[in-house]
């Protein structure tokens, strides 16, 4: 069986095959954060979804180049820079750092490339110049440059590839300067925004005049530079389908004359406590809000990974408590396996790995994947309780879990530093040996080994080492 995914572009589940002739390399682009505030739990559902896609591709043997942009200039950012009387980089830098810290806390693999929009102004200008030369962009009276939907369609191109747009019935506007505009509007959108007094120091020189890029053109320029004019996979939240992703396709294909992206994946919306997230309703959470309530990043990650990416998911605090219990079950089972395996290397247990793989290949069927994990936990716990599992079998089961967790990313961090309690046992053993109480000394040694630690000599004396 091969990996199958729902391609928004074709509106069908298709077998994923990369553009690479050797079938090994995959280029993947995910719309990243707009760094004007801390990312909220709805944002994190999308980024954990992206992490799942990347890990699944790597689990399937692909060499993935994962690119995630940093939007560090757009309408909201400029407004807040002005309100706080700071510089663009000082303002966005703190939120970019916070985002990457949160990404790590949630167990997400860091993208291989994280291009910032402000560092790609030259590429953005060059792309706009191509669009002007091809006749699908024009300079307006105010000095801004706009993409022409009419001219794009007039050259035989299709606007509305990701969702069906009835262009005749949609409310038409001559042009839209805002980065985000109303979903029912069909209008020319800004590629380059002429400088206005409200922009302050946020502007760049260009052949069109001083100004700054529009939001949509930023992603096209950065993704093309990183992955080429045509690449394998682009993903984001379903709210970005229109206008952002549709505009990305139009301006990219309008500039290059080539198909932009082969596969588009979109994650569904998130509800919190059954309602749309809102600060006024008290159900608006950043990761930091949840950590302050005593939850952990891995619990948040687990909960966000329990629903299929195309299903609207209800995120609740009760669900986080359930995540804590579920992870404790896994931790206990894995801890017992580690103790019995005693560091023995082994080939992963095929049953768990194959069931898990089959679930993922079915359009990332995460519910079936978790079902295979908890059925495995039940069987392993029963064998352990019956003392019917050998060291080699335990090692094989442990290797299987580690392979599965390379996708899930929810394992507790391995202990590398002995706790105060274990260090106290070591000191007690040393005292017993000095008193020639070898029976007690041996008992403590066995107790430490049962907990997963051995005693070894070092230049500074005896110390504990994790098995």
357 in the same domain as 224: no
101 in the same domain as 75: yes
Domain end position, chosen among 366, 394, 412:
412
Domain contains 93: yes
**Concatenated DSSP letters of 316-376:** -HHHHHHHHHHHHHHHHHHHHHHHHHTT---PPPHHHHHHHHHHHHBTS-HHHHHHHHHHH
Domain end position, chosen among 271, 289, 314:
271
- Residue 182 is predicted with a pLDDT of 63
Q: Which domain holds residue 451?
A: 420-466
CATH number of the structural domain spanning residue 65:
3.40.50.620
90 in the same domain as 20: yes
Q: pTM of the predicted model, to two decimals? A: 0.87
341 in the same domain as 264: no
pLDDT band for 441, please (50, 70, 90 cuts).
confident
Report whether pLDDT(343) > 80: yes
d(CA 182, CA 429): 71
Mean pLDDT across 410-432: 78
Place of tokens 């041996």: 442
Mean pLDDT across 300-312: 97
Report whether pLDDT(374) > 60: yes
Mean pLDDT across 274-297: 94
Tens of pLDDT, residue by residue over 106-135, are 999 999 999 999 999 999 999 999 999 999
pLDDT over 90 percentage in the chain:
79
Domain contains 219: yes
d(CA 251, CA 260): 9
406 in the same domain as 373: yes
pLDDT over 70 percentage in the chain:
94
87 in the same domain as 121: yes
Domain contains 59: yes
Domain end position, chosen among 373, 388, 412:
412
Mean pLDDT across 454-466: 67
Domain contains 191: no
Domain contains 289: no
pLDDT band for 330, please (50, 70, 90 cuts).
very high
Tens of pLDDT, residue by residue over 222-231, are 999 999 999 9
User: Do β-strands 185-194 and 211-213 pair in parallel, antiparallel, or remain unpaired?
Assistant: antiparallel
CATH number of the structural domain spanning residue 379:
1.20.120.640
121 in the same domain as 40: yes
405 in the same domain as 458: no
Domain contains 380: yes
More confident residue, 171 or 453: 453
- Residue 112 is predicted with a pLDDT of 98
- Residue 459 is predicted with a pLDDT of 42
pLDDT band for 427, please (50, 70, 90 cuts).
confident
163 in the same domain as 67: yes
Domain contains 197: no
Tens of pLDDT, residue by residue over 171-190, are 566 688 877 776 556 789 99
347 in the same domain as 247: no
User: Do β-strands 137-139 and 145-147 pair in parallel, antiparallel, or remain unpaired?
Assistant: antiparallel
Work out how many domains the chain is built from and give that number.
3
Looking at the DSSP assignment, which residues form a beta bridge with residue 192? 145, 213
Task: Give the range among 185-199, 239-253, 447-461 with minimum mean pLDDT.
Answer: 447-461
Angle at 355 between CA 353 and CA 359, to 5 degrees: 115
154 in the same domain as 41: yes
263 in the same domain as 391: no
Each residue of 217-248: b (16+ CB within 10 Å) or e? bbbbbbbbbbbebbbbbbbbbbbbbbbbbbbb
- Residue 184 is predicted with a pLDDT of 59
């Amino acid at each position: 069986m091969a990996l199958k995914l729902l391609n928004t572009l074709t509106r069908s589940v298709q077998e994923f095959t990369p553009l690479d002739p050797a079938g090994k390399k995959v280029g993947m682009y995910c719309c990243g954060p707009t760094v004007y505030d801390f990312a909220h739990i709805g944002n994190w559902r999308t980024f954990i979804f992206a992490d799942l896609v990347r890990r699944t591709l790597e689990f399937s043997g692909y060499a993935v180049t994962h690119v995630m942009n940093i939007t560090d200039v757009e309408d909201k950012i400029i407004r807040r820079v002005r309100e706080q009387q700071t510089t663009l980089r000082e303002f966005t830098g703190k939120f970019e750092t916070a985002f990457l810290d949160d990404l790590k806390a949630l167990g997400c693999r860091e993208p291989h490339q994280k291009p910032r929009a402000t560092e790609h102004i030259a590429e953005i200008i060059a792309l706009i110049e191509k669009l002007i030369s091809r006749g699908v962009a024009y300079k307006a009276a105010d000095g801004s440059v706009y993409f022409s939907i009419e001219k794009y369609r007039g050259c035989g191109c299709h606007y509305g590839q990701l969702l069906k747009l009835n262009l005749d019935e949609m409310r038409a506007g001559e042009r839209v300067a805002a980065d985000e505009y109303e979903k029912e509007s069909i209008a020319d959108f800004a590629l380059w925004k002429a400088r206005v007094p409200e922009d302050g120091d946020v502007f760049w020189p260009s052949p069109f005049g001083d100004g700054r890029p529009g939001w949509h053109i930023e992603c096209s320029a950065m993704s093309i530079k990183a992955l080429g004019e045509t690449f394998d996979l682009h993903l984001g939240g379903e709210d970005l389908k229109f206008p952002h992703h549709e505009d990305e396709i139009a301006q990219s294909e309008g500039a290059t004359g080539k198909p932009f992206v082969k596969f588009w994946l979109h994650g569904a919306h998130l509800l919190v406590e059954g309602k749309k997230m809102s600060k006024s309703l008290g159900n608006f959470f950043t990761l930091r809000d949840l950590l302050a309530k005593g939850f952990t990043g891995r619990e948040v990650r687990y909960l966000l990974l329990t629903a299929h990416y195309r299903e609207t998911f209800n995120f609740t605090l009760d669900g986080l408590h359930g995540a804590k219990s579920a992870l404790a079950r896994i931790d206990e089972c894995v801890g017992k396996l580690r103790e019995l395996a005693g560091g023995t290397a082994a080939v992963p247990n095929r049953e768990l790995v194959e069931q898990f793989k089959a679930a993922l290949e079915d359009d990332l069927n995460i519910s079936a994947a978790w079902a295979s994990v908890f059925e495995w936990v039940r069987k392993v716990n029963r064998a352990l309780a019956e003392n019917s599992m050998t060291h080699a079998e335990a090692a094989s089961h442990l290797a299987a879990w580690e392979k599965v967790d390379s996708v899930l990313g929810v394992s507790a961090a391995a202990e590398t530093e002995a706790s105060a309690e274990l260090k106290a046992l070591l000191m007690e053993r040393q005292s017993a040996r000095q008193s020639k109480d070898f029976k007690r000394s041996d008992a403590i040694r066995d107790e430490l080994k049962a907990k997963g630690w051995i005693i070894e000599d070092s230049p500074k004396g005896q110390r504990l080492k994790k098995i």
